[in-house]
Amino acid sequence: MEFVKRKTSFFDSLHGIDQQLLFAVLAILSIGLVMIYSASISHADFKYNDNLFYLKRHLIFLLLGIAVAFIFLITPSWVWCKLGTPIFIVSILLLIAVLFAPKINGSRRWISLGFINLQAAEVAKFAVIIFLAGYLQRHQQKLKESWKSVFSPLFVIALVVLLLFKQPDYGSMVIISTTVFCMLFIVGVPLWQFGMISIFSISGLAYIAVMEPYRIERLNSFLNPWSDPRDTGYQVTNSLMAFGEGEWFGVGLGNSVQKLHYLPEAHTDFIFSIYAEEFGLIGVTVMILLYVILIHRILHVARRAMRSRAWFCTYSCIGIAIILALQSFINIAVTSGLLPTKGITLPFISYGGSSLLVCIGMISLVLRISSEVDVVGKTIKRVSRVKAEN
């Protein structure tokens, strides 16, 4: 079924939202705000002579995030379903435009908009989710009967993966590809088709992983980072030392040593290492539990939407849960030496305007869906009660 197309005020949209999900998001955002200041203070003072530089920018991004959340909360989910294809086309144009941008750290991933550098890959993640969710809703039955219905969206999404490869952004390629496969599997694509797609894609990603010398170097440094701790294994070894220094309870907020120009990207990709150093194993456990609650509540909203037969909402929530779970897992695994370095940010924690705004937008969409599901559920109960009385 499709949710009722009605105008909704901001305060109306707050009724029925998943409070546990909202709590988890606000808790993670609060930790992120504190850690941005703690992890960036030394670098900000050295580079900009202002130890509050990154904190100020992060606060501005949070204010923009409130505006984004407002837009998503007052916009009915059916609007996003109809906008799925246009937003997907815009994301492709952004990915093409970024190829003409200047290189930063050996890759082209950002489009300068003055105050903020827009990372096109972050927009593409959201675009792929709502585009595919809309497609799955429209062709749900055909996907189980015709192989053409399965492969048609894949050819289009493959263009996104190809453009990410040209940047290059291998981490985003893996996240988007895995999310698409999981969504297709959940919708009930025949196993033989799913198996063919998986084998082909995994083979392609494996080839890409070893075709460039710097990627082989990353794999070697991952397998044995201590063999060259001053060069290829520098980031990983310093990250592991940060984890070791944290022990059970951490060295205390603001007392990290690794953030003092030892660990590169301390306030972005490796901010979790600084968090582990300052808050220890106990703090790490709390952080992981918050992410588990976050993902669990998103899937809970997806299940409620499925019971209401709101398929776009169901698939959107599942896609968002997969992307946030993958990003969180990969970032934590990289910082703890369980995966090779990928350049993946930690959702809601790492410094970066594009990632923060997109993550807030995705969560706000889930909160909007939870509100709509609540309205539908109450309507069904009311109708059932009236029928029972008659």
- Cα distance between residue 322 and residue 355, in whole Å: 16
pLDDT for the residue numbered 261: 83
Name the burial class of residue 337, with classes exposed (0-12), middle (13-18) and buried (19+) by CB atoms within 10 angstroms of its CB: middle
Tokens describing residue 65: 């995030």
User: Using CA atoms, how far apart are residues 49 and 40, in angstroms rounded to an integer?
Assistant: 12
**Hey, CA dihedral for 337, 340, 343, 345, is it positive or negative?**
negative
Model pLDDT, residue 13: 57
Can you give the pLDDT at residue 220?
Answer: 72
297 contacts 21 by C-beta, under 8 angstroms: yes
Predicted confidence at residue 388, as pLDDT, reads 46
DSSP string covering 310-371:
-HHHHHHHHHHHHHHHHHHHHHHHHHTTSS----PPPTTTSS-HHHHHHHHHHHHHHHHHHH
Contacts of 72 (CB under 8 A, 6+ apart): 361, 364, 365, 367, 368
Element (H, E) at 119: strand 117-119
User: Using an 8 Å Cβ cutoff, are 174 and 213 in contact?
Assistant: no
Whose tokens are 């030496």? That residue is 337
The pLDDT assigned to 339 comes to 86
**What phi and psi, each to the nearest 5 degrees, are found at residue 232?**
-65, -30
Residue 260 tokens, joined: 């003092």
- Describe the crossing of helices 311-335 and 120-138 by its angle, rounded to 10 degrees: 140
- The whole-angstrom separation of Cα 313 and Cα 319 is 10
CB 183, CB 157: distance < 8 Å: no
pLDDT score at 377: 52
Q: How many CB atoms lie within 10 A of CB 256?
A: 28
- At residue 198, what is the residue type? S
Per-residue pLDDT of the chain (390 residues; tens, 9 = 90+): 444 454 455 555 566 788 999 999 999 999 999 999 999 998 888 888 888 999 999 999 999 999 999 999 999 999 999 999 999 999 999 999 998 887 776 677 888 877 778 899 999 999 999 999 999 998 877 776 677 777 788 888 889 988 998 888 888 998 998 999 888 888 877 777 777 777 777 777 777 666 666 667 767 777 777 777 777 778 888 889 999 998 999 999 989 999 988 888 888 889 999 999 999 999 999 999 999 999 999 999 999 999 988 999 999 999 999 999 999 999 999 999 888 887 889 999 999 889 999 999 999 999 999 998 876 655 545 544 544 455
Question: What pLDDT is attached to residue 188?
Answer: 76
Count of positions (residues) in the chain: 390
Instruction: Report the SS3 class of residue 124.
Output: helix
Which run of H or of E encompasses 381? helix 353-389
Nearest to 17 by CA among 60, 79, 78, 72: 72
What's the CA gap between 225 and 352, in Å, rounded?
27
Q: What is the rounded CA–CA span in Å between residue 28 and residue 363? A: 12
Residue 383 CA to residue 1 CA, distance in Å, equals: 16
Rounded distance, CA 191 to CA 210, Å?
Answer: 28
118 forms bridges with which residues in the sheet? Answer: 111
Token pair of 148, please?
A: 């053409």
- Taking the C-alpha atoms of residue 334 and residue 341, their distance in angstroms, rounded to an integer, is 6
Overall pTM > 0.85: yes
